[in-house]
Amino acid sequence: MAAAPDVRTAGAIRAAIAAGDLSAVEVCRGCLDRIDGDDGHLNAMTVVLREEALARAAEVDAHRREWHDLPLLGVPITVKDVICTRGQPTTAASRILRGFRPSYDATVVTRLRAAGAVIVGKTNCDEFAMGSSTEHSAYGPTRNPWAPDRTPGGSSGGAAAAVAARFAPVSIASDTGGSVRQPAAFCGVVGLKPTYGRVSRYGLLAFGSSLDQIGPLTLTVADAAAVLAVIAGPDPFDATSAGAPATALADAPCGHARGLRIGVPRRLLEASEAGLDPEVRAAFETALKAIGDAGAEIVDATLPHAAYSVPAYYLVAPAEASSNLARYDGVRYGVRAGTAEEVGDGAAGLARMYERTRHGGFGAEVKRRIMLGTYALSAGYYDAYYRKAQQVRSLIRDDYDRAFADAGIDVVATPTTPTPAFRLGERAEDPLAMYLGDVFTVSANLTGLPAVSLPAGRTAAGLPVGFQLTGRPFDEATLFRVGDVLERAAPWWQEAPPRTGATNPGAGVG
């Protein structure tokens, strides 16, 4: 498989700039030109920071000698529109935050800048990261670079599409139930959800606080490891961040899997509700064989409660969203609906302002999840639904703990998604079908475990297929090691999707 001439990984860009073979401005301008040429059709970006990015790239060039060792020197990066960037729009793809410009950077953004990165823009997503198709966005849907009539996945569809389309070699996004990994699978890139607490959530607009985690989308495993090493680590601004060291992550890829036990939950794969597509299953088995050929032992994994992960997740996540989104009321920031003359004075007027703001500001999917969560937390239903879901969550984590400790499994392998990318609009009227597509991804969020999606081939129609690995807590290094084996066996990242250059702008926040 020959590499496309314009394919450049973050590692290759950083090395070329450090050596003086390329200028950061040259690299940045190339990414910006590609965005200008293709994003009118893909709609992956919510804002492009052209002037700021070029100024930052010029700064990198001016300091190249003294910044020579920075791990992301001059590397262009996009950031999902749920992560705060100081003075720049951060809207969560929602009308309710139209015009909001935070006064601070998220911790991950601060660390990326300190590592020499150049942020070129913000990426489209499902509103407040609630969705699996990037169709629930006030900016309009994002299109899959491999098949523009299909979804790039969600909620980080813009981030995955931006990497696949070579707008930038790295995107930083969030994963609450698969929102990094499912788009990575649909767009044929690498997507990592780190261990809960590995990366600070300070500056991330919260969806589900016990589930959210920030992670990278990249072209290669080595790039994912390098980026994680930069953004990981404790943060005094996030009490849930952990102090686990991340210094050896970039050295994890080694080319073999000898001595590792890879567990496969065959019962979960065979469950009828998963609806596993035959081509996805075939790609999964091929990837599994490649890992076995590299020295790993493939064994059965017993995860009896994993089949209940979707209903448990869709009680816990909406409940946390219901609480977190209560802050968007039109009082402190964002959009306010209705003047004082229109809504009236006193408590009644305040209530009308709240109602108008939230009714007009939130989209249908966000409203659906707020209502589901409020219902699950309400008196008389809390024990039957929310508490029960938390108990099931504990059982799922216990299953993984036993698989790792008692069965000696190092990594659990599944497909990332049961199907390849579906057509835009195909599941818009069937939320349950959309939710069931998360059957393989939500367990990692419920348990807090690290998981990565890796490119594992294409269907006969040319649609990418993802292969998922879930690891022990804070053992992303083993995920990178196994992922590197698969990437060497079949370097799918070297193939870029065809460029369209068409113009079809998104709806915009209105």
Rounded (10°) angle between helices 388-405 and 309-324? 120
Domain membership flag for residue 44:
yes
Average pLDDT in the chain: 92
CA–CA distance, 24 with 22 (Å, rounded to integer)? 7
User: At residue 263, does pLDDT exceed 90?
Assistant: yes
Domain membership flag for residue 349:
no
Domain membership flag for residue 134:
yes
Number of structural domains in the chain: 1
pLDDT digits (tens, 9 = 90+) for 54-89: 999 999 999 999 999 999 999 999 999 999 999 999
User: At residue 158, does pLDDT exceed 60?
Assistant: yes
Dihedral pair phi/psi, residue 222, rounded to 5° = -60, -40
User: At residue 505, does pLDDT exceed 90?
Assistant: no
Query: What's residue 273's pLDDT?
Result: 47
Q: Evaluate whether 438 touches 296 at the Cβ level (below 8 Å).
A: no
Domain membership flag for residue 270:
no
pLDDT digits (tens, 9 = 90+) for 474-491: 999 999 999 999 999 999
Query: What's residue 78's pLDDT?
Result: 98
SS3 185: helix
Query: What's residue 358's pLDDT?
Result: 86
CATH of the domain at 149: 3.90.1300.10
394 labelled catalytic: no
- Please, which pLDDT band fits residue 8 given cuts at 50, 70 and 90? confident
Sheet with strand 297-300: strands edge to edge: 45-48, 118-123, 76-80, 170-175, 213-218, 190-193, 451-458, 464-471, 411-415, 261-264, 297-300
- pTM score of the predicted model: 0.94
Choosing from 80, 137, 171, 309, the catalytic residue is: 80
CA–CA distance, 324 with 65 (Å, rounded to integer)? 45
pLDDT digits (tens, 9 = 90+) for 28-45: 999 999 999 999 999 999
Cβ atoms within 10 A of the Cβ of 464, count?
Answer: 29
User: Ranked by mean pLDDT, which of 3-17, 323-337, 474-488 comes out on top?
Assistant: 474-488
Which of 138, 119, 120 has the alpha carbon at shortest distance from 128? Answer: 138
Query: What's residue 243's pLDDT?
Result: 87
Domain membership flag for residue 414:
no
137 labelled catalytic: no
Domain membership flag for residue 328:
no
Q: Evaluate whether 357 touches 97 at the Cβ level (below 8 Å).
A: no
Torsion, CA 177, CA 181, CA 184, CA 190, rounded to 10: 160
Choosing from 94, 179, 322, 453, the catalytic residue is: 179
- Please, which pLDDT band fits residue 343 given cuts at 50, 70 and 90? low
Dihedral pair phi/psi, residue 187, rounded to 5° = -105, 0
pLDDT digits (tens, 9 = 90+) for 123-136: 999 999 999 999 99
179 labelled catalytic: yes
Choosing from 94, 132, 137, 155, the catalytic residue is: 155
Query: What's residue 2's pLDDT?
Result: 36
- Please, which pLDDT band fits residue 352 given cuts at 50, 70 and 90? confident
CA–CA distance, 370 with 375 (Å, rounded to integer)? 8
User: At residue 6, does pLDDT exceed 60?
Assistant: no
Lowest-confidence pick of 11-20, 256-265, 348-357: 348-357
Report the DSSP beta bridge partners of residue 319: none
User: At residue 503, does pLDDT exceed 50?
Assistant: no
Q: Which domain holds residue 226?
A: 10-253+475-493
pLDDT digits (tens, 9 = 90+) for 269-302: 987 445 899 999 999 999 999 999 999 999 999 9
CA 314 to chain centre: 18
Mean pLDDT value across residues 165-193: 98
Domain membership flag for residue 25:
yes
Domain membership flag for residue 357:
no
Mean pLDDT value across residues 411-422: 97
Q: Evaluate whether 322 touches 186 at the Cβ level (below 8 Å).
A: no
Strands 411-415 and 464-471: antiparallel
